[in-house]
Amino acid sequence: MSKVLYIIVCAAGPAGDVGKLVALAQDDGWTVQIIATPPALDFIDVRALEKQTGRPVRSEYRKPGEPKSPRADAIIVAPATYNTINKFAQGIADTYALGLLSEAPGLGIPVVILPFVNAALADRAPFRRSVDHLRDEGVRVLIGPGQFEPHTPSSGADHTDTYPWHLALSALPTTAS
Segments making up each domain of the chain, as ranges: 12-121+148-170
Phi and psi of 143, rounded to 5°? -135, 135
Residue 1: what pLDDT? 58
The amino acid at 35: I
Query: Regarding beta strands 30-36 and 111-115, do their DSSP bridges make them parallel or antiparallel, or are they unpaired?
Result: unpaired
pLDDT tens digits, 93-150: 999 999 999 999 999 999 999 999 999 999 999 999 999 999 999 999 999 888 889 9
> Among the CATH numbers 3.40.50.20, 2.30.30.100, 3.30.465.10, 3.40.50.1950, which is that of 12-121+148-170?
3.40.50.1950
Can you state the angle between helices 46-53 and 18-27, rounded to 10 degrees? 0
Whole-angstrom Cα distance, residue 19 to residue 33?
Answer: 12
42 pLDDT above the threshold of 70: yes
Q: Bigger pLDDT: 156 or 172?
A: 172
> Computed from CA positions of residues 57, 111, 140, 105, in that sequence, does the dihedral angle turn out positive or negative?
positive
| Dihedral angle, C-alpha 11, 12, 13, 19, nearest 10 ° | -70
